[in-house]
Amino acid sequence: MNYAVILAGGTGTRFWPFSRELEPKQFMHVLSNNSLLQNTIIRLSGIIEPENIFIISNKLYLYELKSQIKTLKVPDSNIVLEPDARNTAAAIALAASLILAKDKEAVMLVLPSDHYIRGKKEFSSCIKSAIKCARKDFMVTIGIKPQDASTGYGYIKTAKPLSGLGVKCIKVSKFIEKPAFALAKKYAIDKRFFWNSGIFIWKASVFMEELRKFLPDMYQIFKDVKKIEQVGKKWFSIKPISVDYGIMAFSKKIVLVPADFYWTDLGSWDALTKILPKDACGNVSKADFLGLNCRGVSVFSRSARFISAVGVRDLIIADTPDAILVCNNNNAQDVKKIVDLLKVGRRKECISHITEKRPWGEFTVLQKGIGFKIKLIQIYPKKRLSLQRHTKRAEHWVVVSGCAKVTTSGKAKVVKANNSIYVPIGQKHRLENPGNSVLRVVEVQTGSYLEEDDIERFDDDFKR
Amino acid sequence: MNYAVILAGGTGTRFWPFSRELEPKQFMHVLSNNSLLQNTIIRLSGIIEPENIFIISNKLYLYELKSQIKTLKVPDSNIVLEPDARNTAAAIALAASLILAKDKEAVMLVLPSDHYIRGKKEFSSCIKSAIKCARKDFMVTIGIKPQDASTGYGYIKTAKPLSGLGVKCIKVSKFIEKPAFALAKKYAIDKRFFWNSGIFIWKASVFMEELRKFLPDMYQIFKDVKKIEQVGKKWFSIKPISVDYGIMAFSKKIVLVPADFYWTDLGSWDALTKILPKDACGNVSKADFLGLNCRGVSVFSRSARFISAVGVRDLIIADTPDAILVCNNNNAQDVKKIVDLLKVGRRKECISHITEKRPWGEFTVLQKGIGFKIKLIQIYPKKRLSLQRHTKRAEHWVVVSGCAKVTTSGKAKVVKANNSIYVPIGQKHRLENPGNSVLRVVEVQTGSYLEEDDIERFDDDFKR
């Protein structure tokens, strides 16, 4: 059988302020109604059965992942949560051992979750060719014909085509790190060179064999693993290394199947603007935008704000309710540096959006003032918050849509839309949505201290 | 006696999005804790008594004017509200006739309310010289030595200095409209040319005499006016014309006193950035701003948002809660065009900020959703809203600071901080601040229609 392993633990920083630590790039919806992760799954239809698609990620993203895969038939139990991030070799080794435990002959497809691909049919036939090669015990990588002299990608140097497999496939001679521009220019016009897409196809057993050869310490950890729990504390002894550096650089079994679909890793805002349709002046607008005498300006917004630009060139403007970026197209790679500085400054603008997700729904802080804080809370159908108590704040709840079940001091009460209820300081309380539609509550907190850490939980459906 | 007439009816659009129709430039606080209008008044201390300072404006701005002059000793009764805007000749003629009714020998100083002047001592001595000339029946204008070949100002060509007045003062030969750049370059290096500051000093009687000569129709309207009410409907027959075109272009009595203070009319964002101190890379920040590799970038914010810029040059970024402008320094004059387009589109972003001022205080719409709207309301001490009723919405009020007196169905009730009250659809109600500190109320509206025009007023302290 064929399996897919989607790597979805990344914390991409180059799409800040849209991407945040708690809402990384793979969950972004800039290009379509589906996120990049969702499109990665959808693209596998007809190749891999949904129950054979595994997602390797990080516990921070569990509820977001569950909500994103809900309609895509991938079972929640296929989400594999790493104890922490140890780079791609460990993530793939973990997935390979879990898959091998199910199916000794398994072919596994390894896919990044945050890339952009155009051409579903071409993708499909390329992957099917790669699977054929993998069945012959090759380690297959998908190579992209360079579109320009990019210095943002690793390159793969190929040798001679392999015949007799019935598919187009080329022997790989070398994996090359991101090159300097002078080298990239040479590679881009040399037919032997391809971009490294990070998409790999191999038998789980063949991968484990190569792991044994080139990363024997890691192999020892995973060789008999059938369930993630078996890894235990050994996980934390793993040396983080990418599969490219740890295995692909050394394996003699590698072949390349050239892609005939359009691919970009969407490494920056600039890469995103390249694939979007533009107006006659080269402008892109995904916002309530008015530009006068602008050229090459790309505007993205996650707020309701009106954005205007006058007489500017080659800019990216990315707007969110709490942070805005104005960036020269040529400096899009440096957005990462802004995020690094925000981290140093312990600023929340690099961590989360003003709308924060929770397993039961989400909330948005609308206003903070001296002695008060106003939140809009949305609770999914049939979900409830923990039974909790605050020692420094009282809460007023006005139900604006849906119907709430509110428990205070052990007594439950139904609060309908256009009604309100008061939770005094120190009172145990619980807010629940018993209905079938989203419950929206405006919460006005009053008190001397109004941070999220003033919370004592007594019972929680989500074991927090 | 000496009088001042401050022209404060302008609806400057070039500082959008900071300036809005309901909050024009003269009320802006970008440069100091005081607004441009307040600084105009403060600058007159030692020259004109506060009770002799008149402010000509427009009824839209009455409450803002009152609140801005409160601490400056100018009596509220000195605010003169024009029935509508008829340009400067009519505004000055109205002021001149009112002043003349009080004092036949009055010298009046006419000042724009939205210019920037540095050098209080120099301003003071310049105005005192001008008053001396005006006492000799001259029409005096203050001329600014051109600092560059600006095409944004009118120019004044002077002839020979006048002697015998005991002050430096030059005969004027010609008022020149905003010139083309080629001409402006000539004027800027020719010692005979000055910028027209729009500051004028003359006897009210001499002005009326010149009005009679050059704008006889307007003179007929104002000649016997002692109170604004006497103008009545004749106001609407006035042909709008500036004092420059209507009188200064023709009068033979004009002399110029050269300014030795720094002056700019702050005609655009660009002009503002010129007078602000810059960092080593020429950047200005009046915001929570982080710039990487930026030069000549000026950032202004009225929101709490974090603003970042990467690799950009010569930009103005002006941020407000509902609108943001990114403008090339050289295109700052075109901001007006954005405002014009917003007007055509009937967009509220050209009319008011999300915080709207009212005579009793202000309110901010924090969120709108289907069936609900959340407002933060602030009420000044001892003020109250009208007694009112809504036919399509209910209101929940949570008092977050101060103490409210709430009247519903004729019964008054005190609602303290951390308490709430509910006003059902159709119930007559009134919200009042009986205390000595600001009252802050979070209002959650629920209903099918939530616009400001769903209001029936029964009694109002402000006669709306």
> For residue B393, how many other CB atoms are within 10 A of its CB?
22
pTM passes above 0.90: yes
Which of B302, B310, B352 to mutate against chain A (most A CBs within 10 Å)? Answer: B310
**B181 falls in which pLDDT band (50, 70, 90)?**
very high
Chains A, B: CB contacts within 8 A come to 174
Q: Which H/E stretch holds residue B298?
A: strand B298-301
Average pLDDT value over all residues in chain B: 95
pLDDT at B29: 87
Identify the closest residue of chain B to A311 by CA–CA distance. Answer: B328
* Residue A12, pLDDT above cutoff 80: no
User: pLDDT tens-digit profile of B257-267?
Assistant: 999 999 999 99
Average pLDDT value over all residues in chain A: 95
Residue B324: its chain A contacts at CB < 8 A? 305-308, 319, 324
Angle between helices A204-214 and A87-102 (to 10 degrees): 140
Residues A274 and A332: their CA atoms lie apart, in Å, by 12
- Please indicate whether residue B359 or residue A139 has the higher confidence score (pLDDT): A139
Would you call A310 and B327 a contact, using CB atoms and an 8 Å cutoff? yes
pLDDT at B455: 94
pLDDT more than 90, % of chain A: 91
Residues B319 and A123: their CA atoms lie apart, in Å, by 44
pLDDT at B32: 85
Which of B400, B423, B443, B445 to mutate against chain A (most A CBs within 10 Å)? Answer: B400
Would you call B306 and A324 a contact, using CB atoms and an 8 Å cutoff? yes
pLDDT at B336: 95
pLDDT at A391: 96
User: pLDDT tens-digit profile of A157-209?
Assistant: 999 999 888 899 999 999 999 999 999 999 999 999 999 999 999 999 999 99
Q: Which H/E stretch holds residue A155?
A: strand A155-161
End-to-end CA distance of chain B: 37
Would you call A331 and B317 a contact, using CB atoms and an 8 Å cutoff? no
Of A319, A364, A422, the CB nearest to B420: A422
How close A344 comes to chain B (CA, Å)?
A: 13
What letter would DSSP give residue B73? T
At B356, list the tokens. Answer: 């709207």
**A304 falls in which pLDDT band (50, 70, 90)?**
very high
End-to-end CA distance of chain A: 37
Residue A326: its chain B contacts at CB < 8 A? 307-310, 312, 315, 317, 326
How close A278 comes to chain B (CA, Å)?
A: 19
Of A306, A330, A446, the CB nearest to B349: A306
Would you call B376 and A376 a contact, using CB atoms and an 8 Å cutoff? no
Residues B37 and B113: their CA atoms lie apart, in Å, by 5
Would you call B372 and A446 a contact, using CB atoms and an 8 Å cutoff? no
How close A366 comes to chain B (CA, Å)?
A: 6
pLDDT at B140: 98
**B13 falls in which pLDDT band (50, 70, 90)?**
confident
**B176 falls in which pLDDT band (50, 70, 90)?**
very high
- Please indicate whether residue B283 or residue B33 has the higher confidence score (pLDDT): B283
Which of A285, A400, A419 to mutate against chain B (most B CBs within 10 Å)? Answer: A400
**A294 falls in which pLDDT band (50, 70, 90)?**
very high
Residues A196 and A110: their CA atoms lie apart, in Å, by 13
The residues, any chain, with a CB within 8 Å of residue B105's CB and separated by 6 or more, are B1, B203, B205
How close A67 comes to chain B (CA, Å)?
A: 23
Would you call B338 and A400 a contact, using CB atoms and an 8 Å cutoff? no
Would you call A369 and B349 a contact, using CB atoms and an 8 Å cutoff? no
* DSSP letter string, B346-407: T-GGGT--SEEEETTEEEEEEEEETTEEEEEEEE-TT-BPPEEE-SSEEEEEEEEESEEEEE
pLDDT at A464: 80
* Residue B191, pLDDT above cutoff 80: yes
- A411 φ, ψ (degrees, to nearest 5): -105, 130
Would you call A322 and B305 a contact, using CB atoms and an 8 Å cutoff? yes
* Residue B12, pLDDT above cutoff 80: no
Of B324, B341, B394, the CB nearest to A324: B324
User: pLDDT tens-digit profile of A399-418?
Assistant: 999 999 999 988 999 999 99
Would you call B327 and A311 a contact, using CB atoms and an 8 Å cutoff? yes
Would you call A371 and B444 a contact, using CB atoms and an 8 Å cutoff? no
pLDDT more than 90, % of chain B: 91
Task: Give the mean pLDDT of A346-365.
Answer: 93
User: pLDDT tens-digit profile of B26-54?
Assistant: 999 888 899 999 999 999 999 999 999 99
Task: Give the mean pLDDT of B389-407.
Answer: 95
Would you call B331 and A293 a contact, using CB atoms and an 8 Å cutoff? yes
Of A308, A347, A440, the CB nearest to B325: A308
User: pLDDT tens-digit profile of B117-175?
Assistant: 999 999 999 999 999 999 999 999 999 999 999 998 999 999 999 988 888 999 999 99
Would you call B306 and A322 a contact, using CB atoms and an 8 Å cutoff? yes
Task: Give the mean pLDDT of A152-158.
Answer: 94
pLDDT at A30: 81
Residues A6 and A39: their CA atoms lie apart, in Å, by 11
The residues, any chain, with a CB within 8 Å of residue B198's CB and separated by 6 or more, are B110, B111, B112, B115, B265
Residues B254 and B171: their CA atoms lie apart, in Å, by 7
- A384 φ, ψ (degrees, to nearest 5): -145, 150
Residue A366: its chain B contacts at CB < 8 A? 366-367, 374
* Residue B292, pLDDT above cutoff 90: yes
Would you call B308 and A422 a contact, using CB atoms and an 8 Å cutoff? no
Would you call A290 and B371 a contact, using CB atoms and an 8 Å cutoff? no
